[in-house]
Amino acid sequence: MTDALRYLSDREVQGNLVLFGLGEANTEVFELAAKIRKEDKFISPADALIVASFLEDPQSDILYTTDGAIIRSRTIDELAKERGKNIHELA
């Protein structure tokens, strides 16, 4: 077990492995993406991660997209409004 931990620790130090702890910003993005997928089956896993990353990013206010599923999603619209974020369709 110690050898395995040492191996993983070495990889993390070298930048070849990223570890996430529960409650960190990255795990919150994954949790939000899972919530989006659970509540809206029309949203793909990739789109759910993109939207969740946008919603959890404190530096982002507007997401521009041509993706109709994102634009029409009530779940995403509600989550965006809760966070004071805007999603706009690109024509």
One DSSP character per residue, 18-52 reads: ----TTSHHHHHHHHHHHHHHH-TTS-HHHHHHHH
Question: What predicted TM-score, i.e. pTM, was given to this entire model?
Answer: 0.72
Q: What is the mean pLDDT of residues 62-72?
A: 96
Q: What is the pLDDT of residue 26?
A: 61
Residues 1 and 30: their CA atoms lie apart, in Å, by 28
Token code pair at residue 43: 């949203």
Residues 76 and 70: their CA atoms lie apart, in Å, by 7
pLDDT in tens, 8-66: 777 777 776 665 555 665 678 888 999 999 999 999 999 999 999 999 998 999 999 99
pLDDT band at residue 72 under the 50/70/90 scheme: very high
Q: Is residue 31 packed enough to be buried (19+ CB in 10 Å), middle (13-18) or exposed (0-12)?
A: middle
Other residues' Cβ atoms within 10 Å of the Cβ of residue 35 = 14
Q: What is the pLDDT of residue 43?
A: 97
Token code pair at residue 51: 């939207």
Q: What is the pLDDT of residue 46?
A: 93
On the question of pLDDT at 91 being above 90, the answer is no
Q: What is the pLDDT of residue 17?
A: 62
